[in-house]
């Protein structure tokens, strides 16, 4: 699918050329994938490469940016434009790219160490600004590339190479953090369900502004089975709570469990038989107030209790790059295109004969 | 106020005068200094300014820590510095007097706001006895003027509260100085009217104070005469008075225009660099995008992201921010993308002296990254030269696909000088020369794009922003295979890539002008080599030395990495080389290491620029030692004031333990 555009160095974006029909192969680079055999990253990569031909987008207008870590190698495997940058900094780099090139699809691939530890600051500010980027956080609750230290999402008391007597730290809840940072799109998926992942990626891509998707991802070498209790095939129906917009929140093989707001306002899991279907909380992605989404993000204390997946929040907010462009356009509209000679004389000038 | 321009006596004509306005941080000294500068610039004087203020916005009133000063030299001939010692000090309170009196030469004029010299302020300034009464100022001509009370009095019937009226006393001082130096105040009156439009009482109080100050000079008969400094004979052309930071901002806008690249500034506020952000954010009509990031790292990161997308990515900062940007500069070296890092140096280490000048980040710019990561360094030498230096830095960044560091400093940033405007048509054109198609044939005979195929002359790689089909490629901080750009851990490849990156930067020496040496007849024995903001002081010192009949040469480096190709030859032509720097001898070390020349380092770290007088004496010492000595002897260094272990000599001649 190489529809080489005008070779004059301008960004044509092939406006007049129809988007070529592509397959997964077209989106795969010639580089050998070097994750450990059995790593959850493989299914995420596959989901991505299989989704992209479906999105009606162009390879040349697609950019994958990453920081450092196992997840951050993903851009090398995509046959698009890409950058593997510095630990934690991808959202900052992506902000500059997205703010100047609103025509591009910018994906940020990150991990729990990359985005929640060393890059925490960049993540929250990118979300707050609502830069038009799609952030996929591969959360495996461990440092993989440095061979097994605890991460900011590792559970307390976790025994790792750097915490032989157990971690003393309260972990981050990535979704709570994102919601607290004013994120306009927040979702969760897991690496054992390609179909669900694909749907979340599609939704995140469609959202204008910053989208944040947490993916529970198994590191089979350093933290194997971290999510097994909820994502294992035999546990899913009892442990994963699918959030569907406009539908009552319920789960279980027969839909026998549900989520309600308790007397203290907090959300809690109940038996539908006990409370009746009409008492169930109806999921609303577009709720302006993020409070309920925040509560849902904390319904489970960890991947061993019933855990919601799906889109928690999807609201419209002004998109940063677009607003920046609008400001520029408005000033040009008002003042006319800048003139250097006039600029140099904009203070008080005088002439020496 | 045309009714006030006639003085009874003919003004006395001076060829130049150095004025220093000093007061509390909240007294508006920078504002009136600026106004006096503008008036003098429009009047046609040559001038140079030196704003000197504390880091605190409002340090405790009346204390030494809170003193803010603005020095300006105006002259009827071309000058190079804001002057060593003020001829006139305006002191709005005892602290302002105390902080500045030591810099005054005997015979200087001191104008004080006598209302502020009461016990409380005297105590705060650390005076046990009132200096106006104890005879300690006998070497000066002191004028005690009740600025506060007159200012308050004249606004009384305008309905301005005394406390508010009192704040206009800086305009009283300005009006008085304008009378004393025979300059019109009409321009300032107009400025006040537009600045305070809609705030009638403030406007009225300021106007009345300005007028009162002017009239006071005329009618009080305190002053024997007023003075006049005639316009300078400058090269014909159109001039503006400009600060280094404004010139830098305008240079960025011009470079963007000349390259056709959209300008993106990613930055974080920091003194003394923030004014570049402020200036650029005003000029969106040029398509400028300014981004105030969450931190210094994100500032440069966003700039690099914008560069990846085909914009002119720029970040501005000062020392503490430069530390934080190091990792992203390293990535820029690896990615080989155009990126401009502007460091407005200030006193360090750490937070150091935020508002004071220093040029101690040269070695940081040279070596402040891990691994072998060379990048070009360009340094501006005067406030207006920031414009040209900025465009040159952008030219190198774009042509060689590399981060470039532009060094300026607090003195250049805030100092001003008249600038003869260039003809816009003469500005250099910068060609981004984006990649346009495949540049390599693979094993199977397919035409492909390789991101690390280099231009044979410049060794620069292609710049291929997203958007062109067929040029999709991945780059990153991992070592890349020569040509294809794929990740490579191969040792031989790493050595080749390291040497290629170094050769690319070193090769820039062939693309920059040879060393510009000011040596009247080529017979000087001593060469002074400087860089950055020491230009004015060195050139002034050189003039003074020549006026005494000595020969001395001056070369001022704009390109610090790589050096001009002929620099080694130039250094070899002189018996002694003096290197003055506002640091501990950083350029000296580079010159010694590069050329094995035993340069004499002459250094000062006081947060202020060199004085022409200390430059003059340092040069004279070296010339005298050379005349009477045996050539390259260590005696030269010690005669300047002792030889510390590293061979550097403090400017004041004292050897600190």
Q: Which long-range contacts (CB under 8 A, 24 or more apart) does B643-646 make?
A: B646/B584, B646/B585, B646/B601
Give the minimum alpha-carbon distance from B438 to chain A in angstroms, rounded to a whole number.
9
User: The tokens of B392 are what?
Assistant: 């040159």
Interface contact flag, A5 B427, Cβ < 8 Å = no
Q: Provide the ipTM.
A: 0.95
- Identify whether B349 is preceded by a cis peptide bond (ω within 30 of 0): yes
Q: In this predicted structure, which of A5-19, A54-68, B512-526, B620-634 has the lowest mean pLDDT?
A: A5-19
Chain A residue with the nearest C-alpha to that of B242: A347
CA distances from B41 to A349, B47, B160, B345, B539 (A): 9, 7, 32, 27, 22
CA distances from B50 to A101, B388, B390 (A): 41, 21, 21
In order, the DSSP letters of B564-627 are: PTTHHHHHHTSSEEEEEESSSSHHHHHHHHHH---PEEEE--SSSPPPHHHHHHHHHHHHHHHH
In B, which residues are within 8 Å of A84 by CB distance?
A: 474-478
B78 and B232 Cβ atoms separated by less than 8 Å: yes
Rounded to a whole number of angstroms, the distance between the first and last alpha carbons of chain A is 64
**With bands split at pLDDT 50, 70 and 90, how would you rate the model's confidence at B212?**
very high
Chain A residue with the nearest C-alpha to that of B313: A96
| pLDDT tens by residue, B130-150 | 999 999 999 999 999 999 999
Report the relative pairing of strands A349-352 and A211-216 from DSSP bridges: unpaired
Contact map slice: A 48-67 vs B, CB within 8 A? 58-65
| Phi, psi angles (nearest 5°) of residue B157 | -80, 0
CA distances from B644 to A53, A328, B362, B589 (A): 70, 56, 21, 14
pLDDT over 70 for what percent of chain B? 94
| pLDDT tens by residue, A283-306 | 999 999 999 999 999 999 999 999
Best probe of the B interface among A6, A73, A93, by most B CBs < 10 A, is: A93
Cβ atoms within 10 Å of A21's Cβ, excluding its own = 8
Q: Virtual CA dihedral for A21, A25, A27, A29, nearest 10 degrees?
A: -150
Interface contact flag, B471 A60, Cβ < 8 Å = yes
pLDDT for the residue numbered B224: 79
Mean pLDDT over B2-13 rounds to 61
CA distances from B466 to A65, A82, B397, B587 (A): 12, 9, 19, 40
Interface contact flag, B305 A80, Cβ < 8 Å = no
Which residues on adjacent β-strands are paired with residue B313?
A: B264
Interface contact flag, B240 A103, Cβ < 8 Å = no
pLDDT at residue B561 is higher than 60: yes
Compute the distance between CA of residue A70 and CA of residue A146 in angstroms, rounded to an integer.
9
Compute the distance between CA of residue B291 and CA of residue B313 in angstroms, rounded to an integer.
11
pLDDT for the residue numbered B647: 40
pLDDT at residue B595 is higher than 90: yes
Chain B residue with the nearest C-alpha to that of A34: B487
A154 or B218, greater pLDDT: A154
Mean pLDDT over A133-161 rounds to 97
pLDDT for the residue numbered A9: 38
B59 or A86, greater pLDDT: A86
pLDDT for the residue numbered A348: 81
| pLDDT tens by residue, B14-66 | 999 999 999 998 899 999 999 999 999 999 999 999 999 888 888 888 999 99
Mean pLDDT over A260-271 rounds to 94
pLDDT for the residue numbered B654: 45
pLDDT for the residue numbered B629: 54
A31 in contact with B, Cβ within 8 Å: yes
Compute the distance between CA of residue A20 and CA of residue A23 in angstroms, rounded to an integer.
10
**With bands split at pLDDT 50, 70 and 90, how would you rate the model's confidence at A15?**
low
Question: Where do we find the tokens 């994100």?
Answer: B298
B456 and B432 Cβ atoms separated by less than 8 Å: no
Compute the distance between CA of residue B70 and CA of residue B49 in angstroms, rounded to an integer.
7
Interface contact flag, B289 A100, Cβ < 8 Å = yes
User: The tokens of B549 are what?
Assistant: 């009949």
B314, exposed or middle or buried, with CB in 10 Å at 0-12, 13-18, 19+? buried
Q: In this predicted structure, which of A8-22, B423-437, B636-650 has the lowest mean pLDDT?
A: B636-650
Compute the distance between CA of residue A11 and CA of residue A6 in angstroms, rounded to an integer.
9
In A, which residues are within 8 Å of B239 by CB distance?
A: 349-352
Helix H or strand E encompassing B410: helix B410-414
In A, which residues are within 8 Å of B286 by CB distance?
A: 337-338, 343
pLDDT for the residue numbered A8: 39
Give the minimum alpha-carbon distance from B649 to chain A in angstroms, rounded to a whole number.
41
| pLDDT tens by residue, B513-533 | 999 999 999 999 999 999 999
pLDDT at residue A69 is higher than 80: yes
pLDDT at residue A3 is higher than 50: no
Label residue B475 left, alpha or beta by phi (over 0 means left) and psi (-120 to 50 means alpha). beta
**With bands split at pLDDT 50, 70 and 90, how would you rate the model's confidence at A5?**
very low
pLDDT for the residue numbered B637: 35
pLDDT over 90 for what percent of chain B? 88
In B, which residues are within 8 Å of A13 by CB distance?
A: 467
Identify the CA nearest to A141 among candidates A231, A219, A49.
A219
Best probe of the B interface among A27, A66, A92, by most B CBs < 10 A, is: A92
Q: How many CB pairs under 8 A join A and B?
A: 237
Query: How does the average pLDDT of chain B come out, rounded?
Result: 93
Compute the distance between CA of residue B131 and CA of residue B115 in angstroms, rounded to an integer.
14
Mean pLDDT over A178-189 rounds to 98
B617 and B550 Cβ atoms separated by less than 8 Å: no
DSSP state of B336: T
B383 and B247 Cβ atoms separated by less than 8 Å: yes
Mean pLDDT over B368-376 rounds to 98
DSSP state of B636: H
pLDDT over 70 for what percent of chain A? 95
pLDDT for the residue numbered B521: 92
SS3 B499: helix
pLDDT for the residue numbered B10: 81
B251 or B220, greater pLDDT: B251
Query: How does the average pLDDT of chain A come out, rounded?
Result: 94
In A, which residues are within 8 Å of B477 by CB distance?
A: 68, 84-86
């Amino acid at each position: 699918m190489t529809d080489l555009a005008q070779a004059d160095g301008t960004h044509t974006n092939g406006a007049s050329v129809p988007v070529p029909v592509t397959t997964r192969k077209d989106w795969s680079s010639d580089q050998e994938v070097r994750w450990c055999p059995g790593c959850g990253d493989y299914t995420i990569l596959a989901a991505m490469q299989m989704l992209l031909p479906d999105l009606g987008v162009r390879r040349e207008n697609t950019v994958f940016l990453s920081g450092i870590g196992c997840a951050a190698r993903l851009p090398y495997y995509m046959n698009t434009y890409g950058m593997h940058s510095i630990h934690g900094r991808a959202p900052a780099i992506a902000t500059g790219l997205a703010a100047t090139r609103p025509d591009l699809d910018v994906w940020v691939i990150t991990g729990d160490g990359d985005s929640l530890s060393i890059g925490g600051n960049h993540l929250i500010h990118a979300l707050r600004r609502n830069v038009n980027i799609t952030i996929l956080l591969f959360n495996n609750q461990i440092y993989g590339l440095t061979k097994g230290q605890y991460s900011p999402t590792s559970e307390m008391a976790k025994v790792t190479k750097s915490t032989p007597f157990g971690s003393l730290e309260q972990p981050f809840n990535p979704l709570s953090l994102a919601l607290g940072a004013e994120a306009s799109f927040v979702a969760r998926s897991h690496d054992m369900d390609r179909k669900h992942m694909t749907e979340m990626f599609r939704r995140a891509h469609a959202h204008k502004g910053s989208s944040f998707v947490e993916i529970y991802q198994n590191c089979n070498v350093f933290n194997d089975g971290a999510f097994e209790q909820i994502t294992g095939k035999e546990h899913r129906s009892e442990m994963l709570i699918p959030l569907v917009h406009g539908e009552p929140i319920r789960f279980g093989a027969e839909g026998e469990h549900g989520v309600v707001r308790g007397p203290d306002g907090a959300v809690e899991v109940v038996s539908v038989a006990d409370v009746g279907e009409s008492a169930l909380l109806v999921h609303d992605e577009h709720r302006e107030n993020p409070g309920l989404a925040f509560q849902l993000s904390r319904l489970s204390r960890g991947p061993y209790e019933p855990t919601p997946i799906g889109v928690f929040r999807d609201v419209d907010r002004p998109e940063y790059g677009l607003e920046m462009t609008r400001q520029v356009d408005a000033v040009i509209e008002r003042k006319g295109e800048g003139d250097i000679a006039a600029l140099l004389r904009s203070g008080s000038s005088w002439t020496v004969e | 106020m045309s009714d006030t321009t006639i003085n009874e006596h003919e003004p006395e004509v001076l060829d130049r005068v150095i004025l220093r306005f000093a007061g509390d941080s909240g007294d508006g000294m920078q504002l009136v200094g600026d106004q006096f500068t503008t008036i003098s610039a429009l009047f046609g004087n040559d001038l140079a300014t030196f704003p000197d203020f504390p880091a605190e916005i409002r340090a405790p009133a009346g204390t030494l820590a809170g003193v803010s000063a603005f020095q300006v030299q105006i002259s009827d001939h071309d000058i190079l510095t804001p002057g060593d010692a003020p001829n006139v000090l305006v002191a709005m309170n005892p602290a302002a007097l105390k902080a500045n009196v030591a810099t005054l030469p005997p015979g200087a004029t001191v104008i004080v706001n006598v209302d502020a010299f009461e016990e409380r302020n005297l105590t705060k300034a650390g005076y046990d006895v009132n200096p106006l009464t104890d005879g300690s100022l006998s070497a000066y001509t002191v004028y005690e003027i009740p600025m506060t009370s007159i200012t308050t009095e004249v606004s009384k019937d305008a309905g301005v509260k005394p406390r508010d009226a009192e704040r206009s006393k800086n305009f009283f001082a300005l009006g008085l100085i304008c009378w004393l130096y025979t300059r019109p105040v009409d321009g300032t009156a107009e400025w006040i009217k537009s600045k305070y439009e809609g705030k009638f009482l403030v406007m009225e109080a300021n106007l009345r104070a300005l007028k009162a100050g002017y009239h006071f000079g005329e009618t009080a008969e305190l002053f024997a005469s007023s003075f006049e400094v005639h316009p300078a004979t400058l090269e014909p052309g159109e001039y503006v008075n400009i600060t280094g930071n404004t010139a830098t901002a305008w240079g960025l806008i011009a470079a963007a225009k000349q390259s056709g690249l959209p300008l993106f500034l990613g930055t974080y506020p920091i003194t003394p660099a923030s004014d570049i952000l402020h200036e650029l954010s005003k000029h969106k009509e040029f398509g400028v995008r300014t981004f105030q990031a969450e931190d210094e790292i994100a500032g440069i990161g966003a700039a690099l992201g914008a560069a990846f997308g085909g914009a002119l990515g720029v970040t501005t900062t000062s020392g503490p921010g430069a530390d934080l940007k190091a990792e992203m500069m390293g990535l820029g070296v690896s990615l080989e993308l155009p990126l401009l890092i502007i460091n407005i140096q200030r006193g360090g280490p750490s937070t150091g002296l935020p508002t004071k000048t220093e040029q101690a980040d040269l070695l940081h710019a040279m070596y402040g990254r891990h691994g072998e990561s060379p990048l070009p360094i360009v340094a501006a030498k005067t406030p207006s030269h920031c414009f040209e230096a900025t465009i040159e830095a952008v030219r190198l960044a774009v042509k060689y696909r590399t981060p470039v560091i532009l060094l300026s400093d607090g003195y250049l940033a805030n100092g001003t000088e008249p600038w003869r405007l260039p003809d816009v048509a003469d500005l250099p054109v910068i060609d981004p020369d984006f990649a346009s198609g495949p540049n390599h044939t693979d094993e199977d005979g397919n035409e492909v794009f390789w991101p690390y195929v280099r231009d044979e002359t410049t060794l620069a790689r292609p710049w291929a922003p997203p958007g062109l089909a067929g040029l999709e490629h991945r780059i990153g901080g991992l070592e890349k295979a020569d040509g294809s750009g794929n990740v490579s851990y191969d040792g031989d490849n790493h050595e080749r890539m390291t040497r290629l990156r170094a050769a690319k930067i070193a090769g820039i020496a062939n693309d920059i002008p040879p060393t510009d040496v000011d040596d009247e007849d080529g017979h000087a024995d001593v060469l002074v080599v400087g860089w950055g903001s020491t230009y004015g002081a060195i050139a002034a010192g050189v003039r003074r030395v020549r006026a005494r009949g000595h020969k001395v040469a001056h070369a001022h480096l704009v390109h610090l990495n790589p050096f001009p190709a002929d620099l080694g030859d130039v250094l070899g032509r002189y018996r002694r080389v003096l290197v003055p720097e506002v640091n501990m001898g950083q350029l000296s070390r580079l010159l010694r290491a590069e050329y094995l020349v035993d340069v004499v380092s002459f250094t000062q770290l006081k947060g202020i620029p060199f004085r022409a007088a200390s430059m003059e004496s340092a040069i004279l010492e070296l010339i005298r030692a050379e005349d009477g000595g045996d050539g390259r002897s260590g005696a030269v260094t010690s005669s300047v004031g002792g030889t510390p272990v590293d061979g550097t000599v403090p400017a004041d001649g004292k050897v600190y333990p």
